[in-house]
Amino acid sequence: MAAGTLDMVIKGGQVVTSSGIRKLAIGVKDGQIAVLAHDASFLAAQRTIDASGKYVFPGIVDPENHLGTQRPLKDSLSSETRAAAAGGVTTWGIMQASPKLRKTYIDEPKPEDVVPFSQVMPEFIELAEANSFIDLFLTGFITTDEQALDIPRVAKEFGVTSFKYYLHMMQGPRTYSVWPGRQKGGWLGFDDGTIYLGMEKAAEIGPPGIVCIHPENYEIVRIFEERLKRAGRTDMAAWDERSPHFCEAGHVRTYAYYAGITGCRLYIVHTTTKESIDEILRARAEGVKVYSQTGHHYLTLSHDVWKINVPLRSEQTMAQLWEALRAGHIDCIGTDHVDWGMSREQMDKGNVWETSSGFPSRVEALLPVMLTEGVHKGRISLEKLVEVCCENPARIFGIYPKKGAINVGSDADLVLVDLQRTMKVSRDMIYSSAGWSIWEGTELKGWPVMTILRGNVIMQWPEGSPRAKMMVEKPLGRYLPRKTGHQLYPI
């Protein structure tokens, strides 16, 4: 490449991919990686970034957030994608119901609001590209037969190829047990027939078409919840006991079987137990294409810390999850980030049954937690971290090698990481609208210090600064349509 033709060169850093760590210079042109070189001396560019002493990762690809459920999507995108950029995330998968993708916020959707995704995608894309600071793709919550039957159209016209079922929101034959948040989220009732239709249609469009499930059998969970309440339990750990491991693993077994019948690729969004992992391995041995995700919170926070769906688990289970991650039985890490817009004091009622479920600011903690508890404690390597936080999510959801890779031709989405930087989490660091983190007061070692999106430096965290600094005023995020039939899928 002729001198002076590059927009940016990042030199001196250790470049991390799943296949190894190499000292390379990265040349960027028109938002893409144009050259990878061992010798940077012949590369000239308008801007040179010295990454000496740092590690260079692909931009983090986080497959799960739920922006727009509790706050208008416009507001949620504006605040939470800044938080994502501060955490090194450059690509975010929004998992959301169709009524929540509108320009006008619908607090509690009615049946007529729950329309096929092809009807709301133009609004969603406009909102996303006007307000997001990072790139986005959509995984739509399927809640009606009409939405399931719409899958081929929304895939062809808008590149939506991933779909999710909240199994704890199912409407069974009896309606006396209703999940409290069902109507607010737009989940007004569906059954196994709706799920079967979605699996058929996801299989029909082919890879990277995929169905995601939240496995948690609420029809059984309600029995344990009633017993725990009668016993007077109000502590956080009761939330784990109300949703025993078999309630998660049973759903994995059932829907992996249906995925095998239909030929649908299946993604387990919350893999939190050894029993679920055993079912995943069983299904894989039977030829089912099934992938699994856990979260940094499931790996590091015990069940007595907070309530979340699926629940946080015990210390023993956390150790089993680390082992499964290292062994390759778990494919991805997802934050399951929520945007409550509420303080901890507002959410925590001192009683598990009354406390708001879920905690905010997960995305800002993803990399520091995984580096501190995973890499620095010898549980996983840097290469494995990049595999599960960048490459695998991009492959599974149909955006690799555009995203999740440091290859010539890939988008120049990069994160510079200082493995030795040690900081204590505090509220003044937080960009998320809630303004607090479950990891407050925790000292974490290893932080993102620069986030680059398509060759644009969007976040920088100078040494000694108490907070990461956004480097752009105008949102630069783009919606990412996926294309079916890509030769790299399935992995």
pLDDT for 1 beyond 50: no
What residues does 17 pair with on adjacent strands? 20
Mean pLDDT for the chain?
A: 94
Quick: pLDDT tens for 241-273.
999 999 999 999 999 999 999 999 999 999 999
DSSP of 279-320? HHHHHHHTT--EEEEE-HHHHH--TTS---SSPP--HHHHHH
The pLDDT score that the predictor gives to residue 4 is: 57
What is the C-alpha to C-alpha distance for residues 30 and 411, in angstroms, rounded to an integer?
9
The pLDDT score that the predictor gives to residue 491 is: 39
The pLDDT score that the predictor gives to residue 180 is: 58
CB atoms within 10 A of CB 250: 18
CB atoms within 10 A of CB 130: 14
The pLDDT score that the predictor gives to residue 37 is: 97
The pLDDT score that the predictor gives to residue 169 is: 80
pLDDT for 2 beyond 50: no
To the question of domain 6-56+413-421+444-470 being in CATH 2.30.40.10, the answer is yes
The pLDDT score that the predictor gives to residue 301 is: 98
Under CATH, which number does the domain 59-396 receive?
Answer: 3.20.20.140
Quick: pLDDT tens for 184-229.
666 566 889 999 999 999 999 999 999 999 999 998 999 999 999 9
What is the C-alpha to C-alpha distance for residues 55 and 46, in angstroms, rounded to an integer?
22
Quick: pLDDT tens for 42-59.
899 999 999 999 999 999
Quick: pLDDT tens for 433-458.
999 999 999 999 999 999 999 999 99
> Domain coordinates of the chain in residue numbers?
6-56+413-421+444-470, 59-396
Topology agreement, domain 6-56+413-421+444-470 and domain 59-396:
no
Quick: pLDDT tens for 217-247.
998 999 999 999 999 999 999 999 999 999 9
Share of the chain above pLDDT 90, in %: 89
What residues does 47 pair with on adjacent strands? 8
pLDDT class of 168 with cuts at 50, 70, 90: confident
What residues does 144 pair with on adjacent strands? none
Cβ neighbours of residue 193 closer than 8 Å, sequence gap 6 or more: 145
Quick: pLDDT tens for 281-312.
999 999 999 999 999 999 999 999 999 999 99
Quick: pLDDT tens for 56-113.
999 999 999 999 999 999 999 999 999 999 999 999 999 999 999 999 999 988 889 9
Average pLDDT over residues 274-282: 98
pLDDT for 182 beyond 60: no
Cβ neighbours of residue 142 closer than 8 Å, sequence gap 6 or more: 148, 151, 163, 164, 165, 190, 194, 195, 198
